[in-house]
Amino acid sequence: MNELWLKARLYYEIFGQSDLLSEYQQAYLSVINKPITSAPLMAIDLEMTGLDPQQDQIISIGIVPIEPSLMPLSIPLAKAQQIMINIDGSVGQSAAVHGIVDHHLSSALTLSQAMEWFVEKTKGHILVAHHAPMDIGFLQSHLYKTNGRAIKLPFIDTLALEKQRLLRQHDVLKEGSLRLDACRQRYGLPTYSGHDALTDALACAELFVAQVNSIGDINTLSAAEFISI
């Protein structure tokens, strides 16, 4: 059911368009109906100057693929990458959180270079993020700035998956229980000290793999069952 709805939304978006972004969206059509064990996925994490997609800017993007190689849902670190983006003004307040200071950004890409890089690297991959609507919102807003068009992006939200799971178990959701580290601990995953985009994307990728495994026989699950749009 979800699968048909997703496809309809994507068709609607692409209809009559013929640019880079519609090719990008087109690529999703062939992956969303795949089993989760063979669908190409890309865990992402963004570091931003603030929380408002309209006002604030993306500082860095980390991407970590999840794909079938050695085993279903492998994470090949050779393909994990991170870029920095040149922003207008200073990184300001969020520097304290991310440990990023302005000089880190000197070797950074321009916004349009970064978006081009992102579209190329993640094409045909379903995006996975923790608290994904925030990251997706920023991507959409930045794609609008560079390409003049906002597009729908299918994504998987590890936070939402965890929330569902806890509620199914009739757990009371305590404050902080859905934070990335707290979620990872429930699956026996190690705590990472770093909080750059790459480390958090990796942390998210591992969490997702653990979540899928905890559901049961992973071979019967379709990617579409996890996707929101």
80 interacts with another protein by CB under 8 A: yes
Q: Which of 33, 146, 147, 199 binds another protein (CB under 8 A)?
A: 199
Q: DSSP 3-state assignment of 94? A: helix
Q: CB burial class (10 A; 0-12, 13-18, 19+) of residue 68?
A: middle
What's the maximum distance between 2 C-alpha atoms anywhere in the chain? 49
Q: Which of 187, 221, 228, 229 binds another protein (CB under 8 A)?
A: 187
Name the one range near another protein by CB under 8 A: 87-95, 123-131, 175-183, 192-200.
192-200
Closer residue to another protein in complex, CB, 83/223: 83
107 interacts with another protein by CB under 8 A: yes
Least Å distance, CB 192 to another protein, is: 4
Q: How far is CA 159 from CA 43, 86, 107, 129, 134, in A?
A: 13, 29, 32, 8, 11
Q: Which of 108, 111, 150, 160 binds another protein (CB under 8 A)?
A: 108
Q: How far is CA 15 from CA 12, 94, 95, 151, in A?
A: 5, 39, 41, 12
37 interacts with another protein by CB under 8 A: no
- What are φ and ψ of residue 142, in 5° steps? -75, -35
210 interacts with another protein by CB under 8 A: yes
Closer residue to another protein in complex, CB, 78/96: 78
Closer residue to another protein in complex, CB, 108/166: 108
Task: With CA atoms as reference, report the closest residue to 161 among 116, 115, 223.
Answer: 223
Q: Which of 38, 93, 112, 213 binds another protein (CB under 8 A)?
A: 213
Q: Which of 91, 198, 204, 223 binds another protein (CB under 8 A)?
A: 198
- Give DSSP secondary structure letters for 156-216: EEHHHHHHHHHHHTT----TTTTSHHHHHHHTTPPPP---SHHHHHHHHHHHHHHHHHHHS
99 interacts with another protein by CB under 8 A: no
Q: Give the binding site for another protein (CB under 8 A).
A: 69-71, 73-78, 80-84, 107-109, 113, 117, 187-190, 192-194, 196, 198-199, 202, 205-206, 209-210, 213-214, 216
